[in-house]
Amino acid sequence: MGRGAGISKPFPKIQQIIETSSAEETLAFGRYLASSLKSGSLVALFGDLGAGKTTLIKGIVSEISKIHTEEICSPTFSYLNIYEEGQIPVYHFDLYRLNSVEEFLDLGFDEFLFGEGIACLEWSERIASILPSYTQNITLTYDGADKRRILYEF
Ligand code: ADP
Ligand code: MG
């Protein structure tokens, strides 16, 4: 066996669990996370409706673009919002209504996954098969009215 044997298998990601007790705390986690993201970073969010995916992305977008969180909303009908106000563009995807990976590729969206900016995706499971191994995964789970469990894998 050569020296490289075995390294083609994806390396297990580091896992971190965070618990938040309010939407404001989830926003703050998004802002904190933003400082570690760079050009080409890919953040894939998972979790049910109301789990807090949009809230967390608002934190990321507001930190990088300096846009007020109240002006940031989910692109549920258009799939993609682009924020170019900061030093790095942020691409916010909401793929809830996406039908297939083919649709995503036909729309040319892969350009944004592998582009200059930071890509943040809601309903990432829709395109799980094309997400690269360096994708940072965030899974949010409802844990009571204002509590959310956030599994961060990077
Ligand atoms: P999703 O995008 O996953 O559907 P949203 O972020 O749009 O979720 O909505 C989450 C809802 O839950 C918001 O109304 C928010 O105010 C509320 N909420 C309550 N507690 C939290 C928390 N700890 N983290 C995130 N959102 C929370
Ligand atoms: Mg949402």
CA atoms within 13 A of residue 99's CA, in its CB half-sphere: 4
Ligand 1 geometric centre to CA of 1 (Å): 50
Give the environment of ion ligand 2: residues with CB less than 5 A.
53-54, 74, 122
Dihedrals phi, psi of 57, to nearest 5 degrees? -65, -35
What atom in ligand 1 is closest to the CA of residue 49?
A: 4
Q: Identify which of 22, 55, 124 to mutate to test ligand 1's pocket (most ligand atoms within 8 A of the CB).
A: 55
Task: Report angle CA 69, 142, 109 to the nearest 5 degrees.
Answer: 55
Res 3: pLDDT: 53
Count Cβ atoms below 10 Å from residue 95 Cβ, excluding itself. Answer: 21
Mean pLDDT by 10 residues, the chain (154 residues): 58 95 98 98 98 98 97 94 98 97 98 97 97 97 98 98
The whole-angstrom separation of Cα 75 and Cα 10 is 31
- CB-based contact 23:146 (threshold 8 Å): yes
Ligand 1 close to Cβ of residue 124 (< 6 A) = no
